[in-house]
């Protein structure tokens, strides 16, 4: 899974059965120092993330497995966790806790 | 999902059952400032996109899930939404709306 | 799908049922100006491409879906179309037609 | 599979059936000289790795196959082995042994 | 598929049914001139390759399809052919033959 930051929202109506109300968000993948890295991407949001949130993203086939009901939807990136707390360690590493949420990942 | 801009069309006849009339388009992946990034790619078009359209693209296995009927077709990139409106925010992020279309994604 | 140019051939006998006579070719992925980009790759050829041909390539799981009969073969790149004609447009984009072939993609 | 070094831990509760107690770790992919390469990633840990451990990581669909019980979980990266011993050879290559563990990979 | 050169061996016991005796090797992906490109990777060896061998590698889901018996093993890279002979052509391309082996790929 990758770290990404939510930078925008998408207004569209996914008409796949079971995706009513599913939001699409624009996310910016991040590098080791959590700075922007590469192009914006569009992700399905199953954790009610908001603009500026630091998130954990799942890619490719596994992304659609994160969706609440539907398994075969053309989605290749999904947010599965919002980082609640980040504890930076002296050795440049960091630990983090994921916000308790209503989805099955946190 | 990625952002891409349609830059060309392909004339070919997909002979897979259920893909009659399905167009192939040439798309240019884009970076954070929506400028060209990397090589051209070829995508199946399920949203009637045209030259110059800014689109949302789904990659790999999930691309063929976007096709109207057929599931097992050798397609690894599909356009699933045409960006209708882009609202740039002060913090360099942007929100967008997808054009209402005839496919199941918008 | 990606654009690639055939640069070499491989002599090997694929012993998977249904792959008799299936050729492996060496292909060079191309950038926006159709110049070489990155490493050579090896692709299964289902369109009888030849050295120097500009082709459309399908990646990963979808590549094996392009094979005539067999679905579960360790192939992660397949040529699915030979570009017959390339029409460069003033805006740097181009349109192309795929050669009519005997496979299901063209 | 890739080499990565564990740099941090994640506190979250995976609520997928069969993933109770499964830890998420932050890992740093490594280059040929085992130096940091690219962004941090988040991996499911099935080998009880700890901070600083050099590990073997499996990507995408295969990552969820490494999980003890569950097959359809939105996980696209998993640690499947902890490097126990590294023997550097004169020609810059190295051999390694994986720590005997309780999972099916080692 | 990609070209890679074997640079090291891994001592570990794969405990997945059907993988007894399956070796893991360290491979170095190569660029167009067959020089090292990017990080080392770990691949399952189904062609009895040795240190220094130039090989053809299959990635992601298709890698586990190359394994003799088992289909659902967390392996995302497999060697499927050892290059026996390389014939460099004047135009920088090359042709190659794969060593006749005991696996189904060669």
Nearest CA distance, B40 vs chain C (angstrom): 5
Return the closest-CA partner of residue A50 out of A82, A76, A21. A82
Quote the ipTM score: 0.87
Cα–Cα distance for residue pair D65/E51, rounded to 1 Å: 29
User: CATH assignment of D2-98?
Assistant: 2.40.50.220
The 3-state DSSP composition of chain B as helix, strand, coil percent (nearest 5) reads 5, 45, 50
Nearest CA distance, E57 vs chain C (angstrom): 9
Report the residue of A12, A22, A29 to disrupt the B interface, i.e. the one with the largest count of B CBs within 10 Å.
A12
Nearest chain D residue to E5 by CA: give it: D93
Are B97 and A8 inside 8 Å of each other by CB?
no
pLDDT-derived band of residue E12, with 50, 70 and 90 as boundaries? confident
Q: What share of chain D in percent tops pLDDT 70?
A: 85
Provide, as residue numbers in chain C, all residues whose Cβ is less than 8 Å from the Cβ of E59.
60, 76
Any residues with CB less than 8 A from the CB of E50 and at least 6 apart, and which?
Answer: E6
CB C65 within 8 A of CB C44: no
- The larger pLDDT score, comparing residue C34 to residue E66, is at C34
Q: At C51, is the secondary structure helix, strand, or coil? A: coil
Instruction: Say what the pLDDT of residue C39 is.
Output: 93
Nearest CA distance, A75 vs chain B (angstrom): 6
- Tokens for D4, please give them: 């990565």
Q: Which long-range contacts (CB under 8 A, 24 or more apart) does E30-33 make?
A: E30/C39, E30/E2, E30/E3, E30/E4, E30/E5, E30/E54, E31/C38, E31/C39, E32/C28, E32/C36, E32/C38, E32/C39, E32/C40, E32/E92
CA distances from residue E13 to D38, D56, E72 in whole angstroms, order as listed:
30, 14, 17
- Tokens for A94, please give them: 């960091």
Tell me E2's DSSP state: E
**In whole numbers, what is the pLDDT of chain E averaged over residues?**
83
Are C73 and E95 inside 8 Å of each other by CB?
no
Provide, as residue numbers in chain B, all residues whose Cβ is less than 8 Å from the Cβ of A16.
104-105
Instruction: Say what the pLDDT of residue E42 is.
Output: 93
Instruction: Say what the pLDDT of residue A93 is.
Output: 82
pLDDT along chain B (106 residues), means of 10: 93 65 89 91 90 92 78 84 86 81 54
Residues C45-81 have pLDDT tens digits of 988 899 999 999 999 878 888 887 766 778 899 998 8
Are C58 and B76 inside 8 Å of each other by CB?
yes
Are B10 and C92 inside 8 Å of each other by CB?
no
pLDDT-derived band of residue A106, with 50, 70 and 90 as boundaries? very low
CB E56 within 8 A of CB E99: no
Residues D22-75 have pLDDT tens digits of 789 999 999 988 999 999 999 999 888 999 999 999 998 788 888 877 667 788
When pLDDT is averaged across residues C83-106 and rounded to a whole number, the result is: 76
Any residues with CB less than 8 A from the CB of B13 and at least 6 apart, and which?
Answer: C100, C106
Instruction: Say what the pLDDT of residue E51 is.
Output: 93
Strand partners, A28: A5
- The larger pLDDT score, comparing residue C16 to residue B73, is at B73
DSSP states of E7-55: EEEEE----STT-TT-EEEEEEEB-TTS-B-S--EEEEESS---TT-EE
């Amino acid at each position: 899974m990758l770290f990404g930051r939510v930078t925008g929202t998408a207004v569209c109506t996914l008409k796949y059965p079971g995706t009513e109300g599913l939001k699409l968000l624009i996310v910016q993948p991040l590098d080791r120092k959590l700075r922007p890295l590469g192009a914006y991407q569009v992700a399905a949001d199953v954790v009610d993330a908001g603009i500026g949130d630091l998130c954990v993203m799942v890619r490719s086939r596994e992304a659609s497995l994160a969706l609440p009901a539907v398994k075969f939807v053309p989605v290749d990136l999904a947010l599965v966790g919002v980082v609640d707390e980040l504890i930076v360690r002296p050795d440049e590493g960091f630990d983090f806790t994921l916000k308790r949420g209503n989805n099955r990942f946190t």
